[in-house]
Structure 1
Amino acid sequence: MSEASARLAGLFDGRRLTPTQRRIAQVVVRRAEEAPFLSSVELAELAGVSQPSVTRFAVALGFDGYPALRRRLREALHDGRAAGVPDAEGRAPGGAEPNGYQQAVLAEIEQLRRLVSWLGEPERLERAGRLLAASRPLPVLGLRAAAAEAAGFAYFAAKVHPDVRLLDEGGSLLADRIEQAADAGATALLCFALPRYPRELVEALGVARAAGLTLVTVADSVLAPVADPADLLFTAPVSTALSFDTACAPMLLGRALLEAMCDALPAAQTRLERFDARAADRQVFWD
C-alpha cells in the first residue's frame, strides 16, 4: 500500500459501511492518486455501483454530499492529515508494503489484541460459563451473519452439555422454540449478534426476556441494538477491511465462553472421553 493509499484508508478505518460502500472505499484506496479528482459518476463506474450509491457513501461518512467528501480526500492526499495512517510496522516481508489482503489480516490481528486486554479480568466470563452450564436445555441463538458463530459454539458445546438447542433460523417458529426451551427448564440463552442485526433477532430476545431467561450475549459493540442493561454482554469487534465483515474476535470470544462453561460442568471431561471412545468405535474420523 502506497503512502497516498494509506492516507486515504485512514478516513475509512473503523467505519460501519455496507458491502457496496466498502467497494467504493476500496476503489478510493487503490486509486488514491486519482480518486480525489474523480466525479461521482466516474467513481461509480470504477466501483461498479450506481451514482446514488456514491452519494450515500459520502453521507455515511458524515459529509453533506460527494463534493465535500472529495475535498476531504484532496486534503488528505495533500497533507496526510487523515487519521489512522499505518506506519512501517505493517510492512510485508522484504520491506514491501502489505497488499489489501494482508491489510485485512493485520486489521484482524489488531482486533484480537484488543480482545486480549478485555479478557484480562475473567470473572464475568466465568460467571457466564456457570449460567450456561446450569441451563438445561441451553438454547444458542444466532441469525444470518451470526449463524456460523452460533453453530460452531453449539457443535462443540453438545460434546459436554447434555442438551444444547441451536436456533439459527428465523421465522414465526423462532419464538415458539424459545418458549419451548424455557418451558423445558432453560434458565439462560446464549446469543451471538453481529451486524447487520436482523429485526427478528431483537424481537426474539424480547421473547426470551419475557420468558425469564438470562441472556448472555456476544456482540460486536455495546451500542448494538440487542444490548440490554439486564443482560450479560460481551463485546468483540468485527473487522471491516474486506467487503464483508470478518469475525475472528467474536468467534474466539465464543470459544472462551465455551471453555468457561466446560470448567463449570463437573462431568465435562467424562462426556468428552465418552464421545472420543464412541467416535473411535464408529471410526468417525480419519485420525
Structure 2
Amino acid sequence: MSEGAGTDMPAGVGTFARLHQLFESRRLTPTQRRIAHCLVQRAAEVPFLSSVELAQLAGVSQPSVTRFAIALGFDGYPGLRSHVRELAPPGTGSDQEPNNPYQQAVQTEIDNLRHLATLLADPGPIRRAGRLLAASRPLPVLGLRASAAPARGFAYFAAKIHPDVRLLDEGGSLLADRVDAARHAGASALLCFALPRHPRETLSALIHARDTGLTVVTIADGTFAPVAAHSDLLLPAAVGTGLVFDTVSAPMLLGQVLLEAMCDALPDAQVHLEEFDARAAARGLFVD
C-alpha cells in the first residue's frame, strides 16, 4: 500500500513508505523482521535510542540489532539510526509516555492504527483489492492458526454482501483440494490473512493458489512478511509485539476497510444487507 506515495502526501506517509522500502528487497530472518516491526512502529523514537534500548523494545539481543543494521547495508547501528533520523519528521511520536507494559501495549496499537491511516491516504490499493474480491465467484478466504480468527470474522461479514464466501481456516492435506474446488467453481481471487507466526502451510497454499491462476490478495503484518513474495497485492498492517501474544487491531480494522471497499464494488450490496435485516427481524435473531 505504499505505492503511489508522492511529494504532496503528508510527511508521515513518506516516512513509513521509505522505511518499508528499506526492508522490501531484503530476506530478513524472523528476528530481523521483529526488529523491523519495532523500527517502523517507533520511528520517531529510534533516533534517540541506543542499540541496547532498541533491542529491549523489540525483545531481541543487542548483537541482533547490530546484525540487522549490517544486513540493511549500514556499517552498524549508528548508521541505521542516522538514516532513520533523516526520514522521521519531528513530532510524530506519542504525546504521553506509558507508565506500564499494559499501557505500552495499548499505545503501540494506537500507533499502529495511526500508521495504517497514513498508508490509507492512498486508497488505490484497497479499492483495487475490493474490486478483485467482489468479482470473485466464489471468494475463498484463507487464514490459518493465529490468522484464523480475523479470516473467520471477515468471512462472516463478507457473506452478507457476497453470494459465495468460502472460509479456509484449517490446514492439512485437504487445503489444496479446497483451493482447487474454489478455482474450478469459478473463483478468480483469494484473500489471505497472514499474521505471525507464519505457518508453512500458508505459504504452500498461496503458491498453489497462484499456480492455479488465482490472484492473491494478502493482509499481512508488513511488506517484508514471508508471504509478500507469494502475493499479487499485499495490504500491510502492523501487529503489536509487546505482550505475550501479538495484538492485531490494525489488521482487523484493515479487514473491515476492505469489506467497505467490497461493498463499493458490489452494486447490490445494500440490497443484500436490507434483505438480511428483514429476515433477521422476522426470525427475531437479535434482542436490540
Matches within 5 A, 1:6-17: 10-13=54-57, 15=58
Please list, as runs of the form range in 1=range in 2, the aligned pairs for 1:85-100 lying within 5 A after superposition: 89-91=95-97, 98-100=99-101
Against the structure 1 CA distance between its residues 61 and 176, is the aligned structure 2 distance closer, same or farther, given a 3 Å change threshold?
same
Flag as ranges the 4+ runs of structure 1 deviating above 3 A.
Answer: 6-11, 57-64
Identical aligned residues as a percent: 60
* Distance change in 2, residues 1:116/1:145 (3 Å): same
* In 2: Cα distance, 1:88 partner to 1:208 partner: 41
Identify the residue that residue 136 of structure 2 maps to in structure 1. Answer: 135
Instruction: Select between 265-274 and 218-227 the one with higher mean Cα deviation.
Output: 218-227
Partner of 2:237: 236
Inter-CA distance 170–229: structure 2 relative to 1 (3 Å threshold) = closer
Shift of residue 12, structure 1, vs aligned partner: 2.8
Matched residues in 2 for 1:60 and 1:260: separation?
Answer: 43
Amino acid at match of 1:197: H
Match in the other structure for 1:165: 166
Change in 2 beyond 3 A, CA 1:60/1:246: farther
Map residues 1-287 of structure 1 onto 2, 5 A cutoff: 10-13=54-57, 15=58, 58=61, 61-62=64-65, 89-91=95-97, 98-228=99-229, 231-287=232-288
Q: Distance in 1 between matches of 2:56 and 2:275?
A: 50
Q: CA deviation at 1:98?
A: 2.0
Unaligned runs of 5+ in 1: 1-5, 18-56, 65-82, 92-96
Cα distance in 2 for residues equivalent to 1:149 and 1:59: 33
**Per-residue CA shift, 1:33-69, capped at 9, x if unaligned?**
xxxxxxxxxxxxxxxxxxxxxxxx53884479xxxxx
- Structure 1 residues 173 and 227: alpha-carbon distance in aligned structure 2, compared to 1, 3 A threshold: same
Is the partner of 1:192 in helix, strand or coil?
strand
Aligned residues: 217
Give the distance between the partners of 2:124 and 2:66, measured in 1 at CA: 43
User: How big is the alpha-carbon RMSD for the aligned residues of Structure 1 and Structure 2?
Assistant: 2.4
Name the aligned partner's letter for residue 224 of structure 2: L
SS at match of 2:167: strand
| 8 A contact 1:90–1:106 mirrored in 2 | no
Distance in 2 between residues matched to 1:234 and 1:118, nearest whole Å: 9
Q: Which ranges of structure 2 fall in alignment gaps of 5 or more residues?
A: 1-48, 68-84, 86-92
User: Which deviations, in whole Å up to 9, do the C-alpha atoms of 1:158-195 show, x marking residues without a partner?
Assistant: 00000000001100000000000000000000001011
